[in-house]
Amino acid sequence: MTRFAYFGGHEQFQPETLVAHARAAEEAGFDMVMVSEHFNPWVDDHGGAGFAFSTLGAMAAATQRIELVTGVTTPLFRFHPAIVAQAAATLDRLSGGRFTLGVGTGENINEGPLGYVFPAYAERAARMTEALEIMRRLLDGERLNYAGTYYQTKQSRLYSPPLHRVPIWMACGGPRSAVLASKLADGIIVSVKAVDAALAEVVEPVQAAAKRGGRPPLTVVTTRWSILADSDDEAWQALLAWRGLRAPGRLQAVDPAQLRIAADALPRSEVLSRYSRATEPAQLIDIYKPLVDEVKADVVTFQITSIDQTSTIRRLGQEVLPALRAIAATP
């Protein structure tokens, strides 16, 4: 059965607001909250960049049922993978087993500002291979001596271990990352712009690779961006914190001011055109329906922005989730 997640973006909202949104998402009937983990936002004039692991701890205390997911953290540079495992285990305990660890290979906007050289994908994939093994073995209770190319541990152990098995989901953007995830992760997180491309480039390769390796199918977690707004002006206001996400040079940028300048040099219509848009909740059903009945995702994540986010969460619960759940239940 498809589950539904609400995305809480640290790049847009301050952490105390995200905690309130998590409570609202639980009340609205969402199954999960996926929380971004960033050191920098996408622009320097709007939004924030709170510490995700602290926010998640507060969410665990403020909610009762909803599951919590990092969407995603990078266990390669700013955090040693053993520290990420420690954080995951602590969140599992604080949430009563409601935490899933989502990881990815990172972005220069978060690593570069701290002096790390952000390498090409081949090195990041090699680092992730080691990181996934370290995190899995520690979370599974092992006392670990590990001598890798990038990371080492000596008599490492989690003395506050998780109370439940913590799943690890890996963000995937193409076949190479999908094959890596198929070997060591429990699930994949894929941002879906075009359904056919997501299936051909990520979902099908990961499941085929898992089958070849004798592993069960991985959990498929989809995300899709949307804007709920009555007009172009309202949509732009809702998008202010995110406009750098689609700016030229995003992958190389270190300074959010650089991305703000690049984004604001583009016509607003061009930036807005890169996001799915709706003027009423009923249109959101059509935007997210393909993730349910074509991708057949295990989890569908609403990455959505508006000028009244709390109202939007409530309306999603009232007008959108019931329709999508009905579609998911249809044979």
3-class DSSP assignment, residue 189: strand
Q: Residue 48 burial by CB count (10 A; 0-12/13-18/19+): exposed, middle or buried?
A: middle
pLDDT of residue 21: 98
Burial 171-196 (b: 16+ CB within 10 A, else e): bbbebebbbbbbebbbbbbbebeebe
DSSP 8-state symbol, 295:
S
pLDDT of residue 255: 97
Q: What is the C-alpha separation between 41 and 48, in angstroms, rounded?
A: 6
Q: What is the C-alpha separation between 101 and 312, in angstroms, rounded?
A: 26
- Check if the beta carbon of residue 55 is closer than 8 Å to that of residue 91: no
pLDDT of residue 213: 96
Strands (E), the chain: 3-8, 32-35, 67-70, 99-103, 144-147, 152-156, 168-171, 187-191, 219-228, 276-278, 299-305
- Which amino acids are annotated catalytic? 38, 107
pLDDT of residue 293: 96
> Taking the CA atoms of the chain, what radius of gyration do you get in angstroms?
19
DSSP 8-state symbol, 216:
P
pLDDT of residue 331: 83
Q: What is the pLDDT along the chain (331 residues), one digit of tens a residue?
A: 899 999 999 999 999 999 999 999 999 999 999 999 999 999 999 999 999 999 999 999 999 999 999 999 999 999 999 999 999 999 999 999 999 999 999 999 999 999 999 999 999 999 999 999 999 999 999 999 999 999 999 999 999 999 999 999 999 999 999 999 999 999 999 999 999 999 999 999 999 999 999 999 999 999 999 999 999 999 999 999 999 999 999 989 999 999 999 999 999 999 999 999 999 999 999 999 999 999 999 999 999 999 999 999 999 999 999 999 999 999 8
pLDDT of residue 76: 98
Burial 223-241 (b: 16+ CB within 10 A, else e): bbbbbbbeeeebbbebbbb
Q: What angle do CA 200, 203, 208 make, to 5 degrees?
A: 90
Which secondary structure element, helix H or strand E, spans residue 238, and what is its range?
A: helix 232-239
Residue 267, CA atoms < 13 Å, CB-side half-sphere: 3
Domains present along the chain, CATH in parentheses = 3-329 (3.20.20.30)
Identity of residue 79: F
Q: What is the C-alpha separation between 251 and 261, in angstroms, rounded?
A: 15
3-class DSSP assignment, residue 39: coil
β-pair partners for 187: 169, 219
* Global pTM value: 0.97
